[in-house]
Amino acid sequence: MWTAGLLFLASAALSSAASLTQVTSGWDNPTKLSFFIYVPDKLADKPAIVTVPHPCGGSARDSFSRVAAGLAPQADKLGFILIFPQTPNTCWDCTSSKSLKHNGGGDTQGIVNMVKYTLDKYKGDPARVFVTGSSSGGMATNALVAAYPDVFAAGASFSGAPAFACWNGAGLATSNIDPGCQTNKKPTAQLWGDLVRGAYPEFNGTRPRMQIWHGTTDTVVTYGYLADQVAQWSNVLDIPFSRNVTNDPVSGYTKMVYGDGVKLVGYSAQGVGHIVPFREKEVLQFFGLL
């Protein structure tokens, strides 16, 4: 009887465990995205929301179980909600005017609509909405933070590219602003920043904070995009570089601190290719959730 009781309790616990589920209605979906959500069994009051766009060729479930697998246990512990959007295409649209303009009707607006649905349904905290992604998801992170500074408090990009960067379709990214990747015109920090400000020119509030990670041996998304990203957000946030910290958070990584490190940090991962392994502890600490 004791064994049967234990089995019953274990079964009850399993049946009530949170899981990744799909939301199929109740939100505006201009580019036919799929919306997956993870809501822990015990939510915090006014829970924070972390959005995780997947890499090229990935999926919501793959990001949940593999790419950013460490986030769900932290959500269970801390009571925040995870959104895993999924595109029907191979990669996220991070280059069209629809996605790079506030309320432009692109993938970024579809993701923001998922956030708004979640804030409303679960009484979330609009001041604690975050985004983090790898590769194409990192590019989407930059685009979302650029076009929707009124929605996201901070972003963390892994092996991504600046907002308004050009993807040349040949597997290598180049630093230029020509949509057809023809001119190879290298933007300055001022121009990178102006592009972000132009995504939502009416915005005059506090800009989101940014954390940026990239591997030095990345042959898919050029390592030079680390410098471009920190240049872009240093200009947008008006924060100068202050110092490097070697072997942080692990051996071979260099932490690039801007200002006091609260609003902007970069990480150069020596000998790391594509994609830099996700580091939920540092991301959640930067977001202020851990």
Q: Say which of 135, 157, 175, 268 is annotated catalytic.
A: 135
Residue 80 burial by Cβ neighbours in a 10 Å radius (0-12, 13-18, 19+): buried
- Residues with Cβ < 8 Å from 48, sequence gap 6 or more? 78, 80, 81, 124, 125, 128, 129, 130, 287, 289
CA 247 remoteness from chain centre:
24
Residue 240 near residue 251 (C-beta atoms within 8 A): no
Mention every residue, 6+ apart, whose C-beta is less than 8 A from residue 23.
35, 36, 37, 114, 117
Task: Annotate 145-177 with DSSP letters as a single string.
Answer: HHH-TTT-SEEEEES---TT-EE-SSS-EES--
Indicate the helix (H) or strand (E) that contains 23.
Answer: strand 20-23
DSSP 43: P
Looking at this protein, which amino acid is placed at residue 113? Answer: N
| 135 is a catalytic site residue | yes
Pairing between strand 34-38 and 20-23?
A: antiparallel
Sign of the torsion formed by the C-alpha atoms of 117, 122, 128 and 131 = negative
Residue 133 near residue 118, CB atoms below 8 Å: no
The bridge status of strand 241-246 relative to strand 20-23 is unpaired
Q: Are 212 and 263 in contact (CB under 8 A)?
A: no
Active-site residue set: 135
